[in-house]
Structure 1
């Protein structure tokens, strides 16, 4: 997996040679690395960064198209963790893992079939996520996490942070 934002932040590794890796049969996917080397852990930003780095470094606006980048995030990511038989695409027999984005958000407009994938890849962000299903169970609805108490977790994490700062 390529971790473009982390690589840029740490100035390590340069730009992954994605087209050459694909030509050699390598399964290309991407990740965020860790919080200390990426800061946002935003997979939408990572997907966009990977695509823009490829285009910019090669002076080629068509290298790594939007559908390819979305595949890197979905089915290729599933292959990378050895779970392509269970996740990465919507097919009978696979887990029903999916997100529903707010296509009416200003940053996702105009949202028409011809640019839907490009809007997701280049304009989408985590705040556009309205609903999430994991293995068929709804875990987020209207942007609210249903399985955790977000305010309690944030409050406790801030308490831990204060204690760490005292040390």
Structure 2
């Protein structure tokens, strides 16, 4: 009888241990280090003169319950042949931003393009958006390397 109790107790301990280990493996990291520029949105462009590109940017807002809305826009001073914004969703892995997905938004013979995406994301992480922006007019692509924008980051519970 004593041997049976020990076997049952040992089996119960193994089951509890495996349950805790599996839960920890699938849970979001609780010790996730915050990104260094957590609340800074910014834009970048090359040093070349911008004849057509007027403004650009991206944004991320929380809708609650793990839902987010991300958006990007590109604006030219005048109608151009082609204008685009490529929107990226990024997640912080504790040491760097990782692209999860991207969506292109393009328009022709106009001065503006924008795009919005509603998504549900996994809680327990920091998220942000980044976007690349460029346009082409009369065979000139501006800027030569796409301009970039970055949103503020937010933590999703």
Q: How would you bin the TM-score normalised by the shorter chain?
A: under 0.3
Q: What TM-score, normalized to structure 2?
A: 0.25
Larger radius of gyration: 2
**Highest RCO, 1 vs 2 (Cα 8 Å, sep ≥ 6):** 2
Larger helix percent? 1
Q: What TM-score, normalized to structure 1?
A: 0.24
Larger strand percent? 2
